[in-house]
């Protein structure tokens, strides 16, 4: 028995136990304690575990939840970092909790969401069987820097897992470029058609060819820089996707239906969440699940029945008022929420909660790259905009410049008061919080309405 592993696992389990007694999440700190005792603990604990790893800028948590549902539907035991704690500490915590004191895994399979920067070391230690790369967008400039830095982190991570099957987003010119520098077997997934009839105005994060710097041309655009890209100078282009949504059948406030092509088979796919970006999440998850050896029908069924991750299009019923909480963290994701709102019918109250803590990104200038002007298209259907969070005043200024309407915007910084205001009216509510604002607001909702905690 490895003594360092024994004491590290014991310390992790003990710390987690104490934190849960105190009603704390216990997601990252137990792993941090364990890594102090055994810095390469994850390498020891991941031996004998077949891992499907999910990384990329947007869609990691939702994609992971869909893949988890595949395991559930197939009756296969697994563990995951369901809380979304996706750095080395949080991932190590879950492996330690799901191991014996000697370091032997209790389950053969794991679904692990991994931060893009953390993937460099995590993938080396974990040696996943399948890696799903969702997309690459500009995100948290204070932490990641330019989008090419995020891309380089992912490339290094994948290079450190040469045995993994890698599922790449065929519509993302940045993600596709990962294929140029790895020996892994690759499966491409994507969307072969436009998603939205009326799309927000977006700034592309990849306007020019990553190889020769010529400007891309597109046969179609789904959102952001995703779509049928082609470089007229060097010929770099979107590869054919082996697994793809070929036609959008319908979209509403609760779900989307598409025609799916998977290799030589076709299926009608219903996705248990709305929004065009969740079409990508579902198709990518199906690609990863099939490469883990699951049947296509099992994966398709999971996309229609999975439970969304906390704050990712999560639904609440607060005193009879329907509420959706939709995490946002960058312009691309935020614009897709606005696309979603502009494609639903009926009245709604809109809430934005903006924080600037480390986990949110301390630079909030990204809100000026979001097409909040699109909200004005809702007209009288928009009953109002409530603004909260540490940087509520900054967001209020942004909404003001979006010309939403005189007197429609209200700043409410106290979350208890915010919830009371939400439940005092009868319109559906859509809340867009950044990460720590989501945790704080969700904790208040859990306390007031007895919803489960984020780690459960």
Out of 256, 272, 303, a domain closes at 303
Residue 209 and residue 330 in one domain: no
pLDDT confidence bin for 344, thresholds 50/70/90: confident
What mean pLDDT do residues 184-207 have? 86
Q: For residue 217, is it within any domain?
A: yes
> What backbone phi and psi angles, to 5 degrees, belong to 383?
-75, -20
Instruction: Give the model confidence (pLDDT) of 413-440 as tens digits.
Output: 999 999 999 999 989 999 999 989 998 9
CATH number (domain holding residue 174): 3.40.1190.10
Instruction: Give the model confidence (pLDDT) of 28-47 as tens digits.
Output: 899 999 999 999 999 999 99
pLDDT confidence bin for 48, thresholds 50/70/90: very high
User: What does DSSP say about strands 217-223 and 130-133: parallel, antiparallel, or unpaired?
Assistant: unpaired
Instruction: Give the model confidence (pLDDT) of 259-283 as tens digits.
Output: 999 998 999 999 998 888 899 999 9
Residue 280 and residue 380 in one domain: no
Residue 87 and residue 144 in one domain: yes
Residue written as tokens 């998977």? 262
User: What does DSSP say about strands 321-326 and 312-318: parallel, antiparallel, or unpaired?
Assistant: antiparallel
pLDDT of residue 80: 95
**CB within 8 A of 24, min separation 6: which ones?**
none
Residue 288 and residue 408 in one domain: no
Residue 70 and residue 185 in one domain: yes
Residue 189 and residue 328 in one domain: no
Instruction: Give the model confidence (pLDDT) of 100-152 as tens digits.
Output: 999 999 999 999 999 999 999 999 999 999 999 999 988 654 444 478 889 99
Q: For residue 343, is it within any domain?
A: yes
pLDDT of residue 143: 47
Residue 320 and residue 252 in one domain: no
Across the chain, mean pLDDT equals: 91
- Pairwise CA distance, residues 156 & 150, whole Å: 10
Instruction: Give the model confidence (pLDDT) of 290-335 as tens digits.
Output: 999 999 999 999 999 998 876 778 888 999 999 999 999 888 888 8
CATH number (domain holding residue 328): 3.90.190.20
- Pairwise CA distance, residues 257 & 385, whole Å: 30
Q: For residue 299, is it within any domain?
A: yes
Residue 316 and residue 299 in one domain: no
- Measured between alpha carbons, how far apart are the two ends of the chain, in Å? 32
Q: For residue 246, is it within any domain?
A: yes
Number of domains in the chain: 2
- Pairwise CA distance, residues 140 & 439, whole Å: 18
What mean pLDDT do residues 358-369 have? 88
Out of 267, 285, 303, a domain closes at 303
pLDDT higher than threshold 70 for residue 405: no
Strand-by-strand arrangement of the 409-411 sheet? 312-318, 321-326, 429-433, 348-353, 382-388, 409-411
Residue 246 and residue 106 in one domain: yes
Q: What crossing angle do the helices spanning 29-37 and 3-21 adopt, rounded to 10°?
A: 160
Q: For residue 456, is it within any domain?
A: no
DSSP code of residue 192: S
Residue written as tokens 């190889």? 211
pLDDT of residue 144: 45
Q: For residue 28, is it within any domain?
A: yes
pLDDT higher than threshold 60 for residue 157: yes
Q: For residue 454, is it within any domain?
A: no
Out of 303, 323, 350, a domain closes at 303
Which pairs count as long-range contacts for 295-299, CB under 8 Å and 24+ apart, including other chains? Answer: 295/74, 296/262, 296/265, 296/267, 297/267, 298/70, 298/73, 298/74, 299/70
Please tell me the pTM assigned to this model: 0.88
- Pairwise CA distance, residues 57 & 381, whole Å: 32
Could you tell me the sign of the dihedral formed by the alpha carbons of 7, 12, 17, 18, in that order? positive
Residue 118 and residue 159 in one domain: yes
Residue 299 and residue 330 in one domain: no
- Residue with the bigger pLDDT between 27 and 218: it is 218
Structural domain of residue 241, as residue ranges? 3-303
Token output for 302: 């999971």
């Amino acid at each position: 028995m490895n003594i360092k592993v024994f004491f590290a696992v014991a310390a992790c389990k003990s710390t987690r136990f104490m934190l849960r007694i105190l009603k704390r999440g216990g997601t990252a700190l137990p792993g941090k304690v364990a890594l102090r005792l055994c810095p390469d603990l994850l390498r020891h604990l991941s031996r004998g575990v077949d891992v499907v790893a999910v990384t990329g800028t947007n869609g990691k948590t939702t994609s992971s939840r869909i893949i988890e549902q595949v395991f559930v539907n197939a009756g296969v035991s697994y563990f995951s970092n369901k809380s979304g704690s996706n750095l080395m500490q949080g991932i190590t915590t879950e492996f330690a909790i799901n191991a014996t004191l000697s370091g032997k895994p209790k389950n053969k399979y794991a679904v692990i969401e991994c931060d893009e920067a953390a993937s460099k070391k995590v993938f080396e230690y974990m040696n996943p069987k399948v890696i799903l790369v969702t997309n690459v967008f500009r995100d948290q400039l204070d932490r990641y820097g330019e989008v090419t830095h995020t891309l380089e982190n992912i490339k290094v991570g994948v290079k450190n897992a040469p045995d993994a099957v890698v599922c790449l987003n065929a519509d993302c010119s940045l993600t596709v470029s990962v294929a140029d520098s790895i020996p892994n077997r690759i499966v491409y997934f994507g969307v072969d058609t436009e998603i939205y009839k009326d799309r927000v105005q977006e700034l592309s994060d990849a306007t020019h060819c990553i190889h020769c710097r010529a400007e891309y041309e597109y046969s179609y655009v789904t959102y952001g820089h995703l779509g049928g890209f082609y470089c007229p100078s060097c010929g770099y282009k979107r590869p054919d996707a082996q697994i793809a949504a070929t036609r959008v059948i319908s979209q509403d406030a609760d779900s989307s239906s598409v025609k799916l092509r998977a290799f030589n088979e076709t299926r009608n796919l219903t996705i248990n969440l709305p929004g065009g970006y969740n079409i990508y999440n579902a198709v990518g998850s199906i690609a990863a699940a099939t490469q883990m050896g699951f049947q296509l029908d099992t994966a398709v069924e999971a996309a229609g029945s999975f439970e969304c991750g906390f704050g990712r299009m999560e639904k609440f019923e607060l005193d009879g008022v329907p509420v959706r909480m939709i995490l946002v963290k960058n312009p691309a994701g935020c614009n897709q929420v606005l696309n979603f709102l502009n494609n639903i019918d009926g009245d709604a109250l809109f809430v934005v909660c903006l924080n600037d803590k480390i986990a949110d990104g301390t630079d909030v200038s990204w809100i000026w790259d979001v097409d909040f002007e699109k909200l004005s298209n809702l007209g009288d259907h928009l009953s109002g905009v409530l603004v909260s969070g540490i940087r509520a005043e900054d967001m209020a200024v942004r909404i003001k410049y979006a010309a939403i309407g005189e007197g429609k915007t209200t700043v409410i910084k106290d979350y208890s008061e915010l919830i009371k205001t939400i439940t005092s009216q009868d319109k559906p509510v859509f809340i867009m919080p950044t990460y720590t604002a989501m945790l704080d607001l969700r904790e208040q909702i859990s306390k007031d309405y007895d919803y489960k905690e984020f780690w459960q």
